[in-house]
Amino acid sequence: MNHSADIRFLLTIRESGSLIAAARKLDLSPSAVTQRLQQLEKKLGAQLVNRSARRLQFTEEGTLLCERGAELIEQFDSLFDDLQQRRSGLVGTLKINAPLGFGRRHVAPAIAGFQQSNPDVDVALTLSDQPLTETMDRFDIVVHIGELPLSNRVGYTIAPNARLLCAAPSLVKRIGEPESPDDLVKLPCIVLRENNEDVSLWQFSKGRTRCNIRVRPHLSCNDGDVIRQWACEGRGVILRSEWDVAEDIAKGRLVRLLPAWKTPDADVVALTHHRAGLPARTRHFMQYLQARFKPAPPWRR
């Protein structure tokens, strides 16, 4: 049994989501994919995929083989990438997932610069409003903003980032400036929907005082650019990342509210697979990305 090829075959099925889609990706007929899967199960003496279910479901054995096998394949590929690098520099494909707004404004330019300096590396960028709910194993790097989720991924800090409560000067003039977080329940608020988080529960702290405020959003969207624009138009109060609103605050389109109250930081991090098995292209891009935000990120310069 060609262990490496068999594991790659099984991972392709999982990534494709169906045997038909896997057949297209492998340039095989659906019957050939089914036959090869049956042969693999026969060799291992275990059913790997439950094909009787309405959706393609992996058994415990199949899931274990994919999870452990993916780590081995990654280490295997990393070894050969390093050997090729000794001869001709960085090579291979780098798959990156990033949030919509931050990905457009900061990750995409970084990728363009990195790829230009390393023409033998192909980079596939996916922008999403829910990067953590997608299949993280599909990506070499997942850029995330905010609290780190429980994961078997390794997190690297890219840049510091605070959350700021703000609104347009016209709205503050019309409704008055809140004196405490409790006042927010009576004000028009706008929220960003992402990662299936509880986005209408806003947390504040001041010294030892902590409070959670449940706001009533009059407007919501899954795109940060939209809610920022709504806020600049005076349509509501937003709690938004510093990287997104720092320029608007500097130019007077938005003003900070309750500056004495602190909200949880939302640092920019990058999640990767285990440190030991990272391919050279992944390690070098991580270093390149971190360097772009030093000594201070653009929103603090």
pLDDT given for residue 1 in this prediction: 45
Pair (190, 250) in one structural domain: yes
Residue 40 lies in a domain: yes
Mean pLDDT across 10-31: 86
pLDDT given for residue 88 in this prediction: 47
Domain count for the chain, please give it: 3
Pair (144, 286) in one structural domain: yes
Residue (of 254, 194, 189) closest to 219 by Cα position: 189
Task: Answer whether residue 92 shows pLDDT above 80.
Answer: yes
Instruction: Answer for the pair 242, 162: CB distance below 8 angstroms, yes or no.
Output: yes
pLDDT bucket at 150, cuts 50 / 70 / 90: low
DSSP classification of residue 105: I
pLDDT bucket at 87, cuts 50 / 70 / 90: very low
Residue 77 lies in a domain: no
CA distance 27 to 160: 45
Say which residue, 168 or 81, is predicted with more confidence.
Answer: 168
Q: How far is CA 287 from the centre of its chain?
A: 18
Mean pLDDT across 240-261: 97
- Phi/psi for 108 (5° steps) reads -60, -45
Mean pLDDT across 286-300: 94
Segment 187-222, tens digit of pLDDT: 999 999 876 778 899 999 999 999 999 999 999 998
Task: Answer whether residue 21 shows pLDDT above 70.
Answer: yes
CA distance 167 to 107: 27
Mean pLDDT across 268-290: 85
pLDDT given for residue 275 in this prediction: 63
Pair (20, 168) in one structural domain: no
Average pLDDT of the chain? Answer: 87
Pair (177, 142) in one structural domain: no
Within 131-235, strands assigned E span 141-145, 154-159, 163-167, 189-192, 201-206, 209-214, 217-221
Task: Answer whether residue 137 shows pLDDT above 80.
Answer: no
Say which residue, 120 or 196, is predicted with more confidence.
Answer: 120
Residue 52 lies in a domain: yes
Pair (249, 272) in one structural domain: no
Residue 31, token pair as written in the block: 């019957």
Could you tell me which residues are beta bridge partners of residue 213? 202
pLDDT bucket at 28, cuts 50 / 70 / 90: confident
Identify the domain containing residue 67 by its residue range: 3-72
Segment 153-163, tens digit of pLDDT: 788 899 999 99
Q: Which of 19-23, 147-151, 255-259, 280-284 has the highest mean pLDDT?
A: 255-259
Stated as kind and residue range, the H or E segment containing 125 is strand 121-128
* Of the listed ranges 30-34, 39-43, 50-54, 141-145, the one predicted with least confidence: 50-54
Residue 275 lies in a domain: yes
pLDDT given for residue 174 in this prediction: 95
Pair (135, 176) in one structural domain: no
Task: Output the 3-class SS for 189-208.
Answer: EEEECCCCCCCCEEEEEECC
Supply the angle between the helices 280-292 and 60-88 in degrees, to the nearest 10.
Answer: 80
Q: CA angle, corner 266, sides to 106 and 233, nearest 5?
A: 70
Mean pLDDT across 52-60: 76
